[in-house]
Amino acid sequence: MTLPHDDADFATRIMRIKQAFSRRIPAGERISASRASKGERGIWQRRYWEHLIRDDADFERHVAYILFNPVKHGWVQRAADWPHSSIHRFIRDGVIDASWASVGDGALAAGE
Question: Tens digit of pLDDT for each residue in 76-110?
Answer: 888 899 988 888 888 898 888 888 877 765 544 43
Neighbours of 56 (CB within 10 A): 8
Name which of 44, 64, 42, 62 is nearest 54 in CA terms.
62
Question: Mean pLDDT throughout 27-49?
Answer: 78
Question: Mean pLDDT throughout 71-76?
Answer: 87
